[in-house]
Amino acid sequence: MKGKNKAVLVTGALMLASAPAWAQSNTAASTAASDMKGFAAPALQAPVAYGARWGTVGVGAYGQTCNCNKQNEDGSVGLAFGLGDPDKYAALEVAVSSSSLFGDTGSGDSFGDAGSVGLKLHTNVPGYASFAVGVNGTGKWGSDNFKKANPASVYAVATKMVPVGQYAAILNLGIGDELYNEPNKDGAGVFGSAAFYFTQQISVLAEYTGRFTNAGVSVAPFRSFPLTVTLGASNLGKRYGGDVEFAGSIGMGFAFN
């Protein structure tokens, strides 16, 4: 009997001792998840179905080499913010971009002279998936050449995270017109991307934009800081008489409580 009492005491003591440890480990796990702010991107040029929500703001820049002006390179910078909650009903992402950063030697527009607005209505659904419909290149300002060369492009897209063993992938499929379709062709083209995530901070991606096949690597260098850098090669198929070009983007997000 005495031995039995001792066993109960020891078991109780162990339970008491382990309880704080269990609670601590759970707290650590949730802290670790909420501390995740650096995520690699799943695409370089293709739109995805999730986006900014109320309380989040993003800034970004995109650039690539090209045969489009005397400097053989061009870029654009943008700002995006969200309205609404995609977990409850839907959110609208509004992105404003300034184009032709080096365009003064090509299109006649220089920094701030030309730009456009992108709108994306997106919602989350169960199974780590999202749906969105959007338009890029609307609300343009700038020279007539710029406006004519950048038609508004409407798209619909679905994106889903898929576990792959101990890793993960984000798959993305959409349809869209204009920039997401063959040149001089009416109707819609298909675009899509697939990104394999080694960790949430490193991905390798391949995509087809409806015109170009691209491949790249995306890295979020800091786990607790929302900065994403994506580098890749565009037009791998050397379509439309063009060369393979170097392309890159950098994006940073902010969340306000």
Partner 1 sequence: MRNFMIKMSLAALVVAVSAPVAMAAPSGTSGVSGSAGLGIDVGANIAASGSGDPYLSVPPGGQADGTLGGPVAGLIDKFSKKEDDK
Among positions 71, 113, 161, 244, the unique one binding partner 1 when judged by CB under 8 A: 161
Question: Judged by CB, which is closer to partner 1: 11, or 182?
Answer: 182
Alpha carbons 178 and 74: distance in angstroms, whole number: 20
Piece in contact with partner 1 (CB under 8 A), picked from 3-11, 14-22, 26-34:
26-34
Which of 160, 186, 182 lies closest to 171, judged by CA? 160
Q: Token match 């995530």: residue?
A: 197
Which of 75, 56, 71 lies closest to 253, judged by CA? 56
Which of 195, 116, 119 lies closest to 156, judged by CA? 119
Helix ranges (H only) for the chain are 2-34, 144-149
SS3 category, 27: helix
> By the 8 A CB rule, do 219 and 197 touch?
no
We find the least distance from the C-beta atom of residue 5 to partner 1, in angstroms, to be: 36
Strands 189-199 and 167-176: antiparallel
Residue type, position 228, single letter: T
Question: Judged by CB, which is closer to partner 1: 3, or 127?
Answer: 127
Non-local CB neighbours of 23 within 8 Å, separated by 6+ positions: none
Per-position x/- string for 47-86, each x denoting binding to partner 1 as judged by CB under 8 A, each - no binding: xxxxxxx-xxxxxxxxxx-x-xx----xxxxxxx-x--xx
- Subset of residues 185 to 244 that bind partner 1, contact rule: CB under 8 A: 185-188, 197, 199-200, 209, 211-212, 226-228, 230, 234-235, 240-242
- Subset of residues 103 to 122 that bind partner 1, contact rule: CB under 8 A: 103, 106-107, 114, 116-118, 120-121
Among positions 83, 168, 217, 233, the unique one binding partner 1 when judged by CB under 8 A: 168
We find the least distance from the C-beta atom of residue 10 to partner 1, in angstroms, to be: 28
Count of positions on this chain that bind partner 1 (CB under 8 A):
130
Among positions 14, 87, 139, 243, the unique one binding partner 1 when judged by CB under 8 A: 87
- Subset of residues 120 to 159 that bind partner 1, contact rule: CB under 8 A: 120-121, 123-126, 128-133, 136-137, 145-146, 148-151, 153-156, 159
